Amino acid sequence: MRINKISISLMVAILAMSSLIVFLVGCVNTEGKYVVSFIMKSSASTFWKTTVVGANIAAAEYNIDVTFNAPIDESDYELQNEMIIDAVDANVSAICLSAIDYDKTAEAVEYALNNGIKVVMLDSYVSERDKLIEIGTDNYKAGVKVGEQLLMRQGDVDVAIVNFYSMSSNAKDREQGFRDAVADHDRINIVDSISSAAESEGINSLTKELINKTTVLDAIVTFNEITTVGVGMAIRDLGKSDDIYVIGFDNNVKSIGDLEHGYIDTLIVQNPCAMGYLAIKNAYNELEHIKVKDRTIDTKTIVANRANMFDPEVQKLLFPIIK
């Protein structure tokens, strides 16, 4: 049965209330169980809270103790590296990691591997990848999907890119996928490109500056939850919803509301619950020496817009259960 639009406010409210999740940090008394350190880019976003839900489901299924940790700042690779080293020194069984910096996190990952710690990567990876299982969105394909959505627009399109921390592998891959998707189409003109590790309020300010200095701007594409929220705020504040078409990422409560009200036009929605679950499952497989067929696992994305956002299959990812 199709969910009507009246239900959207209630569902958003439930999601917001359920996002209050407690993150456990540090080692616990394992009583012989495996201990997995789950180290994220941050713990503040809906994306990461949903990832924790999946990890906890798998932890219960496989009888594993999981500790969760993350820097406050998604660009703080130095603190994240310290967390990796601390986990190794605490002699955890395995680490599940989303790397902040493609290059600068690699040494800490190598330290873990050299000390016999199993490492499973999710969402964002490191430059030294041959020994690792990788779980998450195919970020290049997701970027291509952004380009395909933009190409549905008629006529010439002047578009700006608003990206997040530029040294993150998923930031690089999504932007490159987008650029490649539109490269052979002369009617798509990339007029500006910015990247920032700022939180949503900072992205809001940067986007307003970008809009105000750009003579012609038909569209903005942006590639993660924080930047999508910030761009949506700028479009709302400047009253540009009828003028600028926005394609963003993920399913933050604010972005879902912006999608409904027209400040954002399209969301590329990932499956972070599956990422968390599969990260723990594959850490268990590594510890138990269970061979897996694929060491790169794509958790897929869907396209959500105002035309389909109330469809049951789309709502499963738009409104994940977080508790």
Residue with tokens 């291509």: 144
Q: How confident is the model over 186-199, as a mean pLDDT?
A: 95
For residue 96, the SS3 value is: strand
* Domain identity same for 93 and 21: yes
Question: Is 52 within a domain?
Answer: yes
Task: Look up the CATH number of the domain holding residue 180.
Answer: 3.40.50.2300
Query: What is the structure's pLDDT at 12?
Result: 40
* Domain identity same for 195 and 256: yes
Question: Is 226 within a domain?
Answer: yes
How do 35-39 and 266-269 pair as beta strands? unpaired
Per-residue pLDDT tens for 134-185?
999 999 999 999 999 999 999 999 999 999 998 999 999 999 999 999 999 9
Query: What is the structure's pLDDT at 15?
Result: 42
N residues, the chain:
323
* Domain identity same for 172 and 105: no
Pick the range with the lowest mean pLDDT from 56-60, 138-142, 235-239, 292-296. Answer: 292-296
| Whether residue 312 has pLDDT greater than 60 | yes
Q: Is residue 125 a contact partner of residue 156, using CB atoms and an 8 Å limit?
A: no
**CA–CA dist 67, 176 (Å, integer):** 34
* Domain identity same for 265 and 277: no
* Domain identity same for 164 and 114: no
The pLDDT confidence band at residue 55, using thresholds 50, 70 and 90, is: very high
Task: Tell me the residue type at 281.
Answer: K
As a whole-number percent, the residues of the chain with pLDDT over 70 amount to 89
Question: Is 63 within a domain?
Answer: yes
* Domain identity same for 143 and 265: yes
- Return the HEC string of 280-307: HHHHHHHHCCCCCCCCEEECCCEEEECC
* Domain identity same for 187 and 118: no
| Whether residue 259 has pLDDT greater than 80 | yes
Among residues 129, 116, 123, 127, the alpha carbon closest in space to that of 88 is found at 116
Question: Is 47 within a domain?
Answer: yes
Question: Is 317 within a domain?
Answer: no
Question: Is 250 within a domain?
Answer: yes
* Domain identity same for 130 and 237: no
Per-residue pLDDT tens for 5-46?
434 443 444 344 343 333 333 334 446 899 999 999 988 888
* Domain identity same for 113 and 56: yes
Provide the domain count of the chain.
2
Query: What is the structure's pLDDT at 31?
Result: 64
| Whether residue 281 has pLDDT greater than 50 | yes
**CA–CA dist 16, 254 (Å, integer):** 9
Query: What is the structure's pLDDT at 6?
Result: 38
Query: What is the structure's pLDDT at 323?
Result: 52
As a whole-number percent, the residues of the chain with pLDDT over 90 amount to 78
* Domain identity same for 241 and 259: yes
Query: What is the structure's pLDDT at 25?
Result: 34
The pLDDT confidence band at residue 77, using thresholds 50, 70 and 90, is: very high
Residue range(s) defining the domain that contains residue 209: 139-269
Question: Is 306 within a domain?
Answer: no
Pick the range with the lowest mean pLDDT from 44-53, 109-118, 152-161. Answer: 44-53
* Domain identity same for 191 and 170: yes
Query: What is the structure's pLDDT at 313?
Result: 86
* Domain identity same for 169 and 259: yes
Query: What is the structure's pLDDT at 4?
Result: 45
**CA–CA dist 294, 299 (Å, integer):** 12
The pLDDT confidence band at residue 252, using thresholds 50, 70 and 90, is: confident
Per-residue pLDDT tens for 84-107?
999 999 999 999 999 999 999 999
Question: Is 28 within a domain?
Answer: yes
Q: Mean pLDDT, the chain, as a whole number? A: 89
